[in-house]
Chain A
Amino acid sequence: MTDATPFPTGTGHKMSARGVSVSYGDKQAIRDVSIDVDMDHVTAFIGPSGCGKSTFLRTLNRMNDTIASARVTGEITLDGEDIYSSAMDVVQLRARVGMVFQKPNPFPKSIYENVAYGPRIHGLAASKGALDGIVEQSLRRAGLWDEVKDRLSDSGTALSGGQQQRLCIARAIAVDPEVILMDEPCSALDPIATAKIEELIHELKGRYAIVIVTHNMQQAARVSQKTAFFHLGQLVEYGDTDNIFTAPKQERTKDYITGRYG
């Protein structure tokens, strides 16, 4: 791995953001962020709380659309297509760019229905058998199959916190996304469940481009290959994880990583 130039102009990146700013009403949350996300990589966003890393994550699959006062400027592309252009369909975008939230949020339905929900609304399964296959495959990939295969009709909310989060990952995988956004997926979990999720992220890495927001620097160091450090709504530094943690270029990054603030 080389320390690549941070912002190559060519395509080939799965997702690219160029000069992205986000504001809520009068308040600017993100200022002029440019970043690339690649397949086969886990990209970690780190930074002190309130630095805008979660806000930026939510612009990547336009979840900010649900907040009436949010305004996004700049350009974000998925496979070279502008995701904020009128030609881009937000429903398809979100199917291609899945998301896992901070707090596990399984629907109050059965485990099976939770996973089958996405394929059903997008019409991805032609038959009941195909749907069963998708559910099984997704649960296997999320490493949950062996634990729940005998009780697929139990409620998803009856699982433990870590299992619920893996169910949410399975739910996201079931739609066959290309990118998975994870917003502090372990912050509500205990260390054992966290370890399981981190293992899972490793396994999923080859298949999906993964972006993970975390406030836990050890976690970023463990799971990611690229790291972006956000501070006060700006992207301070972006590069290979190893470099960021061993030889940060910016003073602010160094201060944060060495625990001087945050």
Chain B
Amino acid sequence: MNVFALLFVVVGLGLIGWLTARARAVRFDRGGQKRLHSLPSQHGWYVAMWTVLPALLFIAVWSALSPALIKDQVLKSPAASQLSDFAFERDTILGEARDVALGRADATFDDTATALVEPMRAAIAFYGWTGTGIAILLAFAGGAFAFTRTSPTFRARTRVERGLMLILLLASLIAILTTVGIFLSLFWESMRFFAMVPPQDFLFSTHWSPQLIDPNNPGKSLGAVPLFWGTFFIGAVIAMLVAIPFGLMSAIYLTQYAAPRVRRWMKPLLEILAGVPTVVYGYFAALTVAPAVRNLAVFLGMPFASAESALAAGLVMGVMIIPFVSSLADDSIAAVPTAMRDGSLAMGATNSETISRVLLPAALPGVVAGVLLAVSRAIGETMIVVMAASGAANITLNPFESATTVTKQIVDLLTGESEFDSPKTLAAFALGLTLFVITLLLNIVALRVVKKYREAYE
């Protein structure tokens, strides 16, 4: 049975459990001389919980396990004896057979696969119906168990609340699970990468050309230094040269100078800049900004300037970050007590003197933390560089030349046609791990600074 249909049935059973338990509890109430501990609907929830949760848990585990069980079963069939031992080829043929068995494809390309269609169909049906049967049985068993426990003295509310508390706890553990999941999956694949490529080659060598990998010495063409440089140059230098002055000055103007009406309109307008999807910025960078930058370079006397310059990507990325810097700077300046501002103005300082000599120094930790967060966002930004930056790994200080970034290379490495276990593909995970660790450090430092700073004024 289809998983969605099965879910539907289980939830339906839960509903039936809820209704019957509630009806029964209502009858306790009618005949009962003493007060019930729990409301009828709470008895209903208790039964529904026992009906649905074990079955759902089983379905989740079963749907994760059954593909492997099906595969085992098919491999035991006589038709499978002709299969190649080479895992990749074997999986392709099995995949073909599965598609036909499920009705996703009309015919197979491979004869071995045709022979496997029937065993496959049988295995899928067997495990599908077994799983369905167990799930429905579990739902009935759980429901019946809970139903027999309901009685006028049964504390259903306490049980339901305890169950709910468990669900709340599990929900909040998903955040930890995700963090651990990210770290483990990146770490695991990176370890496989570093088994093929020495870490020092990856981290310190300066030649990057994943298109031409020497299978005997893959480390020679997988030196990530140009990527690190390009990421730093585009995200932390060029983009910040745009974002910091513009973001900071916008925040200052909107908080210190602008009339309330102007502020009310301009702030959301800047927030729209933050809401524009990155793919739109990327398209704009590639279509409009990059040619303009190239023309400028030619005008400045660089006839062979790249059409995928670091400058174009960095500029647009900077614009994207402006509202981010602006809103964080806004918060930090707003956190400086008004007394500081009054104190300075009362001595005859002009607004600009007050801002640059008192407010900004006082808000500096917050602003610095904001810039760190902005850098972390810029170096993790993907679409703009994928669309507007080059794939050529150069170490250059000239913004009109092309440079590539970690994120761009991750996308390029993983969207080509290549098998999963090659150093080329795994390099993407090593790059991802580096990116993750660096952004994590930036965030931790920034959050710490912000926290300290908040405490200073509270």
Contacts and interface: CB of A to CB of B under 8 A. Distances in A.
A–B touch (CB < 8 A): the answer is: yes
Interface of A: 61, 63, 66, 68, 90-96, 98-99, 101, 103, 105-109, 117-118, 121-122, 168, 171-172, 175
Going nearest first, the 3 A-B pairs with the smallest beta carbon separation are A95-B348, A105-B339, A94-B348
Given A68-B260, A108-B362, A117-B357, A91 B337 contact: no
Contacts of A103: 339
A170 B260 CA distance: 35
22 contacts: A61-B346, A63-B342, A63-B345, A66-B342, A98-B346, A101-B343, A101-B346, A105-B340, A105-B342, A106-B343, A107-B343, A107-B361, A108-B340, A117-B357, A118-B347, A121-B350, A121-B357, A168-B343, A171-B347, A172-B346, A175-B347, A175-B348
Q: Is the interface of A mostly helix, strand, loop or mixed?
A: helix
B213 to A, nearest CB: 55
Q: Which of A66, A108, A171 has the most CB of B within 10 A?
A: A108
A168 B342 CA distance: 12
A10 B41 CA distance: 87
A101 B345 contact: no
Contact of B347 (A66, A106, A109, A117): A117
Nearest to A61: B346
Given A68-B259, A91-B348, A94-B345, 11 more contacts: A63-B346, A94-B347, A94-B348, A101-B343, A105-B339, A105-B343, A107-B340, A107-B362, A117-B358, A122-B348, A172-B346
A109 B361 contact: yes
Chain B interface extent, by class: 20 to 34
Given A107-B358, A108-B361, A95 B340 contact: no
Contacts of B342: 63, 66, 101, 105
A103 B158 CA distance: 52
Contacts of B259: 68
B348 A121 contact: yes
Nearest to B351: A66
A118 B348 CA distance: 8
A66 to B, nearest CB: 6
A93 B347 CA distance: 9
Contacts of B456: 108
Contacts of A172: 346-347
